Structure 1
Amino acid sequence: MLYTADQVAQLPGLHADSDGFRYLLVSLHNHVLTITLNRPEKKNALNPAMLNELAFALAYAHYTSAVWMVVLTAAGDTFCAGMDLKALSMGDTEQARVPEPLGPVRIGEIMADLHKPCIARVQGPVYAGGFLLVGGSTYVVAADTATFSLPEVKRGLFPFQVLAVLLDCMSARTALDLCLRARTLSATEAKNVGLVTEVTVINELDMAVSRLTDELKQFSPTAMQFGLRAFQQLKSLPSSEQQAYLFEQFRQLQQTADAKEGMTAFLEKRQPKWRSE
């Protein structure tokens, strides 16, 4: 994480005496942290200040036990137009509203380090670097009118970081084809290749996201966090060490309050009361 737990303890936007973020809207309700990209006049293109704010908000979600999951959504008619190349090349002269990150902001790494379910609510087109947000989410609920495109090769560029994220969602040939041919996928086509998990009509988008968050709340947030962390860790472990690592993770999970509550509730034939501990 690019921010420490102490730095994110007072998250801008969640406190009445805070000026809040410049490019995000952030709210916490019933264990769901909703992060809204709020730069609609620029089609939510990611400039340096917005990237820092996003890293800060996701760090808050990572460290805060009251946050069980994240919903990532966007204002306006476009989910994300990718990186704001003009702003990135010229540098950011705006006064920061969050602390300076401890290193470079790489969205793919930040999403992978969240270790909590993240649901992308996609109401409109996704371009280029916006795929890092969608591909890095655990679930992607998209309106049937949403589209997905990687146009980098048309500009003499290549979506290197996006390719790495896509390889977690689909076959290598499909991922390379999306990067090489710059095709625009419909929401249904994106679901067929594994980028999207659910497609719905746009006026039922919020209902579909709510159904998913309500379902996830029934299960242990601690267990899900352990599982998502293990999923990421397995990528860096040789096959000879994976089973030993997973056995140790299971042993540690058994000692948590959530695991003990889950077993007790099962034996008592009642619904568990999760504590995220």
Structure 2
Amino acid sequence: MSESPVIIDREGAVATVTLHRPEVRNAFDAATIAALHTAFVELGQEAEVRCVVLAAQGPAFCAGADLRYMQQLATYTDAQNRDDALQLARMLRAVAECPKPVIARVQGDAFAGGFGLVAACDLAVAVQTARFCLSEVKLGLVPATIMPHVLRAIGARAAQRYTLTAEVLDAATAQAIGLVHEVAEDAAALDARVQRWCAELQNASPQALAAAKRLLAEVAHRPLGDALLADTAERIAVARASTDGREGIAAFLAKRKPNWIDPEAR
């Protein structure tokens, strides 16, 4: 049996999903896409998991599609190609819509689909030597399935430039346009930032984090009309009446830690 293309480790409340195809720069194939989809769906349902780190082995984070896989796709029918593309789109949605915060630990280059994978995560930190590229047009392709996530991460104007030019970005530029939030000097600094984010996320209510992710996804770019006002008012009303909402206010007033930090408070 071949080795799994994705490894899942758990340490306390943190789950780490690691791309495990360093020999092909962690490029996607059908098995990798399916394994990532399953991992994020299942981890999203595990109550004991509070946040997820997406990492990779080897010098590259993700090089996009495996060349051998792309050669295989060239022999597919139109219907098969659409179905295959839909699997990638669904995997990226599983990452983006995972109810747990997802941190991209980018230790190397992220090209094409790898760029989209970083964009689908909630938080991203990259080592300063990492490079990024929307390289599809140089292969006669378009970054279609990743574009919803790219647009959310870097905005339309930056996406327009880097989609059309297929320029290679350094980590500082990726931070400047919003693809990554921080740049780390080396692997030790990369791990330190991931660990700090994981610790900070575990101080927050799991229910509130999941609701905040939905809020960000569903409210962005909507007009500031009566419907949006009613929607956001409903969301905060639900949060105030939720188990974590009541516990958080009670803990604040009692000057104690809430029970998602201190189980003894339950």
Question: Is the pair's TM-score, using the shorter chain for normalization, greater than 0.5?
Answer: yes
* 1:132 alignment counterpart: 116
How many equivalent residue pairs? 248
Q: Which amino acid aligns with 1:205?
A: L
- C-alpha RMSD of matched pairs (Å): 2.3
* 2:28 alignment counterpart: 46
Describe the SS at the equivalent of 2:152: coil
* 1:11 alignment counterpart: none
2:58 counterpart of 1:73:
no
* 1:230 alignment counterpart: 215
Cα distance per residue 1:212-233 (max 9 Å; x no partner)? 1111111112101111012223
Structure 1 pair 171/75, CA: closer, same or farther in 2 (3 Å)? same
Structure 1 pair 217/127, CA: closer, same or farther in 2 (3 Å)? same
Normalising by structure 1, what TM-score?
0.82
Describe the SS at the equivalent of 1:61: helix
2:170 counterpart of 1:186:
yes
Distance 1:27 1:236 in 2: 36
2:90 counterpart of 1:104:
no
Cα distance per residue 1:196-251 (max 9 Å; x no partner)? 10111123211111011111111112101111012223359775422222222222
Distance 2:120 2:142 in 1: 18
Gaps of 5+ in 2: 74-83
Contact 1:34/1:73 (CA < 8 Å) preserved in 2? yes
1:144-159 equivalence runs, <5 A: 144-159=128-143
Normalising by structure 2, what TM-score?
0.86
Describe the SS at the equivalent of 1:104: helix
Q: Which amino acid aligns with 1:214?
A: A
Cα distance per residue 1:177-211 (max 9 Å; x no partner)? 01111111111111011111011112321111101
Deviation at 1:20, TM superposition (A): 11
Gaps of 5+ in 1: 1-18, 92-100
Distance 2:37 2:150 in 1: 20
Describe the SS at the equivalent of 1:157: coil
* 2:204 alignment counterpart: 219
Higher alpha-carbon deviation: 265-274 or 105-114: 105-114
Alignment identity in percent?
Answer: 35
Report which of the two has the higher share of helix: 2
Match of 2:16 among 12, 29, 34: 34
Contact 2:33/2:87 (CA < 8 Å) preserved in 1? no
Deviation at 1:169, TM superposition (A): 1.9
Describe the SS at the equivalent of 1:65: coil
